Structure 1
């Protein structure tokens, strides 16, 4: 049977002599695996359509688990996300989260539009750490692991200072903190941003300017949450962790006073 659907390439694997198997995330048919014949050959007509992050229109025959590409057209190549090291790191992480963090039954239109919005935001130069933290919250919610942020996960109290506990399910009030001695003590601004991410449609994400210390709070909170509830060992995550630690170290070195720099007069 011949199918035609919109999709975003979230994974690609070499297959046979010059072919590729791609996985596309679609708004109407979840994730679809498609063989693109000759995709790795220099003169391939559809090599660009099989590139990571490509948003396209795919026409393919399918009778079993995999389809075979018949024709296709690029809607948005997201070339900039493949050419920049930082952009590629964040986009690859977002794509792998969709591929491995969300089951087939939950890979619907909302996930498709959130991934596309994530790619759009990265391509537009919005702060990638903020974009990806918001996208992680979307993945957590779609996968069924959204944290409780407005009331205590232990007793339901509201309007009190909270700590953030992945193990307990989110916010913990002072009376329930004993349930998780390792719960994180986050700033009030971090709590506000986590709540914003939880309710935000990424298609409406504006430019958010956040200090590095706050970015680190959000990164730690979401990483512990994702590790506890999804438990994924992602190749892209390992690289992204190294990248963010390097960026943090460079920024810290740039802000630190140099011994050979004369002190400014008072």
Structure 2
């Protein structure tokens, strides 16, 4: 059967001497594996369609598990995400997290648009650490593991202060925090950011300015949440962690001024 879809390449691996197998994230059919014959050859007609992060229009035949590319056209190459070190590090993490977190053929229309918006935000030079924290939230929601942020996960109390508990499922109030001694105390602005991230469509993401201390708390919370509920060993995450730790010493990481305000997301300040 012949299919035609728009898709983002979230994985690309060598297959045989001259071919590649790509995994597309599509809005209609979720993840789709496609063989691109001759993609590794220098004069390949479709080699560019097999590159990681590419957004394209793909036509392929599929009778079993894998499809075979029939034709295709690049809509947006996202070439900038394959250059240097910082862009590929963050974009590869977003792609691998997506590929490993959702099942094949699972409906993924919203996540497709969120990933495309994530890639656009990285190309536009928005703070990659915040872009990735926001996208991590979109992935855990798509995977069915959204944290409870507006009320106590144990008793339902809606008035804080709260601590964040991965074991309990999100917020824990003062009366219930004894249920998880490992629950994390967060700054109020971090709670606000988590709630914004939970509801904000990445296509509406505006300019962002967040303190380094808030960034560290956001990373800690979302990484622990992902480790608890999705539990993935991602090669791209290990590299990204090293990059964020040593990037300044290597002199490759973009220099960003110290923010003046907590954050600006969407149409307003939070």
Match of 2:198 in 1: 198
Secondary structure of the residue that 1:28 maps to in structure 2?
Answer: coil
Match of 1:53 in 2: 53
Distance 1:94 1:11 in 2: 11
Which residue of structure 2 lines up, in the alignment, with residue 220 of structure 1? 220
User: CA 1:37 to 1:108, structure 2 compared with 1: closer, same or farther past 3 Å?
Assistant: same
1:145 aligns with 2:123: no
Question: 2:202 & 2:185 partners in 1: Cα distance?
Answer: 26
CA contact (8 A) 2:29 2:106 kept: no
Match of 2:235 in 1: 235
Unaligned runs of 5+ in 1: 255-266
Q: Which residue of 1 aligns with 2:259?
A: none
CA distance in 1, matches of 2:166, 2:105: 24
What secondary structure sits across from 1:87 in the alignment?
helix
> Equivalent residue for 2:265?
none
TM-score (normalizing by structure 2): 0.90
Cα distance in 2 for partners of 1:65, 1:149 equals 39
Structure 1 position 105, deviation (Å): 5.4
Q: Which runs of 5+ in 2 are unaligned?
A: 256-270
Cα distance in 2 for partners of 1:137, 1:89 equals: 18
Q: CA deviation at 1:246?
A: 2.3
> Residues 106 and 143 of structure 1 are in contact (CA less than 8 Å); yes or no, is this contact kept in structure 2?
no
Report if aligned partners of 2:31, 2:105 keep a CA contact under 8 Å in 1. no
For residues 204-248 of structure 1, give each alpha carbon's deviation from its aligned partner in whole angstroms, at most 9, with x where no partner exists.
111110111111110011111110110000111111111122247
CA distance in 1, matches of 2:58, 2:142: 25
**2:268 aligned partner:** none
**Equivalent residues of 1:25, 1:107 under 8 A apart:** no
Could you tell me the TM-score, scaled by structure 1's length?
0.91
| 1:180 matched to 2:180 | yes
What is the match of residue 79 of structure 1? 79
- 1:108-166 CA-to-partner distances (Å, cap 9, x unmatched) read 21111011010011111000011000000011111111001110011111122000111
Q: Aligned partners of 2:171 and 2:248: how far apart in 1?
A: 27
Moved more, 199-208 or 99-108: 99-108
Instruction: Note the C-alpha offset of 1:180.
Output: 0.9
Q: What is the distance in 1 between the residues matched to 2:107 and 2:224?
A: 23
Secondary structure of 1:111's aligned partner? helix
Counterpart in the other structure of 1:65:
65
Superposed counterparts of 1:155-174, under 5 Å: 155-174=155-174
Matches of 1:41 and 1:128 in 2, distance apart? 33
